[in-house]
Amino acid sequence: MATVPHAEFARRLHRVLDASGFAVGRRRTGALAEYYDVSRETARKWLGGLALPELDRMIELATDHRASFEWLSTGRGTMKGGPLSVRDAQEKYGDLEEARLMGLVRKLARKQRRALLDLLESL
């Protein structure tokens, strides 16, 4: 019987995606692949515990879904908040509108982000 090498990570990833209202069921693999601009096979491996995302992608997952990076990657600590979470400090942005804009941009799929950048650069 084959073991799943990263089963615990997969459980945590599903919890994070559930908590943030991400697509559920059979649509989750395709939605995750599109959102992070990876192949469906890569998304399937993450969700099935057969592979781990690279470090920068793991940080992006934690940030996008407001989860603790340490909890997502290792299972230590708590899923949300606390000093171990990966989040941008509000003072990093000029004002609340800029912070809100960045929050909305983070929710876009990679292709949508590129299209938005092209639009903004054409102005």
> Which residues sit opposite 85 in a β-bridge?
68
Domain ranges of the chain: 1-87, 88-123
The single-letter DSSP state of residue 67 is -
Neighbours of 20 (CB within 10 A): 12
Decide if 76 contacts 100 (C-beta within 8 A). no
Which tens digits make up the pLDDT trace of 70-117? 999 999 988 885 444 455 554 555 667 777 787 788 788 888 888 998
pTM as predicted:
0.66
Q: Could you confirm whether domain 1-87 is CATH 3.40.1000.10?
A: no
Q: Where are the alpha helices (DSSP H) in the chain?
A: 7-19, 27-35, 40-48, 55-64, 69-74, 96-106, 110-122
